[in-house]
């Protein structure tokens, strides 16, 4: 299997694993590499092509592994390097390529580079951003932070380091000092890290918050407040990515960049093959449509008209510019989309909308142009955790913002409600394998509690069960592999009409084969104006109710709550 190459990005499906939460092999309550290997047959049955694994490198776990202290080793919590090599080999046998998370914007404070820097080593001090404070009265007086930049996890993006009398930059947690990519030695270090894992048989890479690595030439205050960060898509980012791709030979591999606060124009540049940077990009604008005034921690109902506009703009723009989208609803940093967009499962049995919402979201991402990503548990319809106490949470961001919300005057119950909707822990609860102890994730005490509904939402209840979300996903993966129109067909987006304000209506076409898709985010019935699409000439391909919706004589389509359907040219499946 040494020559095995997974499918190209246009035909492939990627599955993301949050390693702490996927499968625990030794009963310590934390997922690990052997646990992943033990579930490869499950993933092969689903049909995925790539397996993206979140960081398993040595780390003090301030940010659950995204604060790395050694880029080329395995944290004993997760296993050994032999375990990793076995995982790669066993995955290849099942035609699955391993993708690794590369967190190269920052290190842990515990990384030897930073420890040498604060010990006074001038060479390693150039690896980070160490600055004098403003209005300092002299040595030993920190003064004020160098700029007013805010960290993603709350508070200032600068921390005073008394060992050397400087402030260091951390765009995320205080334990994660940012690397200085303007230093060519850092770029060489990064190259060596990528090559190390490439030589071990890795098939792809996901680059964490990669568009933050090129900082502005001058550090000045952000006068825009809640506007786009000054450090996003910096002045040398495209140059640095092209250099990394050239020196490591990863051009042609599946590489995806996490692009925070990015722009469409930049993502076209990042993912256009002619630029030799990345295969595809994650952007997050579509997952901010339920942020009141752009604030993640301020709740509002999702604005589906805005969601539709964002998805349509990116579909058209990437297609016209030769870029490529990574399509997703969930990941380890997001609450569960099934809950977020209407499928609210409570303490007992999931409500009737839960399954329809899960299938509707899957239909949307698998039929748009781009590479579909499945986050662990999406294929089961996993929901938010709905924790009742703050001590049930683990996520550093959530714990920080809980305190911030209390200081703003929120009650404990109000702050907990916000966390129940927004916390990253909602996407990090253990994979629900069965209705047994700890949802079948571990024989011990899990590091994070499962939602109470694991007794009905689990793999054992869904695999090989006709009509289940798992089997629905399995069929979508198969169609993505087999139907060229879904891989390379032109996408055309349409307005669904005034009677369907919360519906997406779009078409994929290649040659004489057409696929028309409707997906409703509406909890109420609605009527879609598809009169210009001649849907009556097509036949149902997939649908998330027992029967496909009826097409009326005037070309309109009556949709039930959260209904989704795709129609295809008659006879196309036999070609």
Enumerate the active-site residues: 208, 258
- Residues contacting residue 439 through CB under 8 Å, at least 6 positions apart: 430, 431, 432, 433, 446, 450, 454, 458
Rounded CA-CA distance 274/435 in Å is: 49
Q: What is the 3-state secondary structure (H, E, C) of 36-67?
A: HHHCHHHHHHHCCCEEEECCCCCCCCCCCCCC
Sheet with 158-161: strands ordered across: 130-131, 166-169, 158-161
The answer to whether the beta carbons of residues 208 and 105 sit under 8 Å apart is yes
- Residues contacting residue 453 through CB under 8 Å, at least 6 positions apart: 345, 346, 347, 348, 349, 350, 383
Cβ-in-10-Å burial (0-12, 13-18, 19+) of 251 comes to middle
- What are the backbone dihedrals phi and psi of residue 443, each rounded to the nearest 5 degrees, phi first? -90, -10
CA-based angle 439:442:444, to the nearest 5? Answer: 115
DSSP class per residue in 135-180: T--STT---B-SS--B-TTSSBSEEEETTTTEEEE-SS-TT-PBB-
Rounded CA-CA distance 62/77 in Å is: 14
- Residues contacting residue 399 through CB under 8 Å, at least 6 positions apart: 390, 393
User: Helix 396-407 and helix 412-422: axis angle, to 10°?
Assistant: 140
């Amino acid at each position: 299997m040494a020559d095995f190459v997974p499918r190209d990005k246009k035909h492939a499906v990627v599955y993301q694993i949050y390693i702490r939460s996927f499968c625990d092999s030794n009963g310590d309550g934390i997922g690990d590499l052997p646990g992943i290997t033990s579930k490869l047959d499950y993933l092969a049955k689903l049909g995925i092509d790539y397996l993206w694994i979140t960081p398993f490198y040595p780390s003090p776990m301030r940010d659950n592994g995204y604060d790395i202290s050694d880029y080329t080793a395995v944290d004993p919590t997760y296993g050994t390097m032999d375990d990793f090599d076995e995982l790669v080999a066993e995955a290849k046998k099942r035609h699955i390529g391993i993708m690794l998370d590369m967190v190269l914007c920052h290190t842990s404070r515990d990384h030897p580079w930073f420890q040498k820097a604060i010990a006074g080593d001038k060479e390693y001090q150039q690896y980070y951003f160490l600055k004098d404070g403003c209005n300092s009265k002299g040595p030993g007086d920190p003064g004020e932070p160098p700029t007013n930049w805010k960290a993603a996890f709350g508070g200032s993006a600068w921390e005073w380091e008394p060992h050397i009398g400087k402030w260091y930059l951390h765009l995320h947690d205080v334990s994660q000092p940012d690397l200085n990519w303007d230093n060519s030695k850092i770029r060489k270090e990064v190259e060596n890290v990528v090559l190390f894992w490439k030589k071990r048989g890795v098939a792809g890479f996901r680059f964490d918050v990669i568009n933050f690595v090129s900082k502005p030439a001058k550090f000045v205050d952000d006068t825009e407040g809640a506007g786009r960060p000054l450090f996003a898509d910096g002045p040398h980012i495209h140059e640095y990515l092209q250099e990394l791709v050239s020196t490591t030979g990863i051009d042609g591999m599946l590489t995806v960049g996490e692009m925070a606060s990015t722009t469409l124009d930049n993502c076209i540049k990042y993912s256009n093959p002619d630029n030799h940077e990345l295969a595809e990009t994650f952007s997050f604008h579509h997952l901010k449509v339920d942020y009141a005034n752009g604030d993640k921690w301020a709740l509002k109902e999702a604005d589906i008209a805005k969601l539709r506009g964002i998805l349509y703009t990116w579909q058209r723009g990437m297609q016209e510019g030769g870029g490529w989208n990574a399509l997703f609803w969930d990941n380890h940093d997001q609450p569960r989309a099934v809950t977020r967009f209407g499928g609210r499962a409570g303490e007992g049995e999931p409500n009737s909308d839960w399954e329809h919402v899960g299938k509707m979201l899957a239909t949307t991402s698998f039929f748009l142009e781009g590479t579909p990503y499945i986050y662990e548990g999406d294929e089961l319809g996993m929901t938010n955790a709905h924790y009742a106490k703050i001590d049930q949470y683990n996520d550093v961001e959530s714990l920080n913002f809980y305190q911030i919300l209390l200081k703003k005057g929120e009650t404990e119950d109000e702050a907990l409600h916000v966390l129940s909707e927004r916390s990253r822990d909602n996407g990090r609860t253990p994979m629900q394998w069965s209705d047994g102890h700890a949802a079948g994730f571990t024989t011990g005490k899990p590091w994070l509690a499962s939602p109470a509904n694991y007794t009905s939402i689990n793999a054992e209840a869904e695999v090989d069960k006709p009509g289940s979300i798992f089997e629905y996903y399995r069929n979508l993966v198969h169609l993505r592999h087999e139907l060229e129109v879904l891989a390379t067909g032109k996408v055309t987006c349409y307005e669904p009409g005034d009677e369907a304000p919360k519906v997406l209506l779009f078409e994929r076409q290649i040659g004489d084969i057409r696929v028309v898709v409707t997906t409703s985010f509406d909890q109420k019935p609605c009527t879609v104006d598809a009169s210009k699409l001649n849907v009556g000439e097509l036949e149902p391909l997939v649908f998330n109710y027992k029967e496909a919706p009826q097409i009326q004589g005037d070309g309109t389509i009556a949709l039930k709550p959260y209904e989704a359907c795709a129609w295809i040219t008659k006879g196309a499946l036999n070609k």
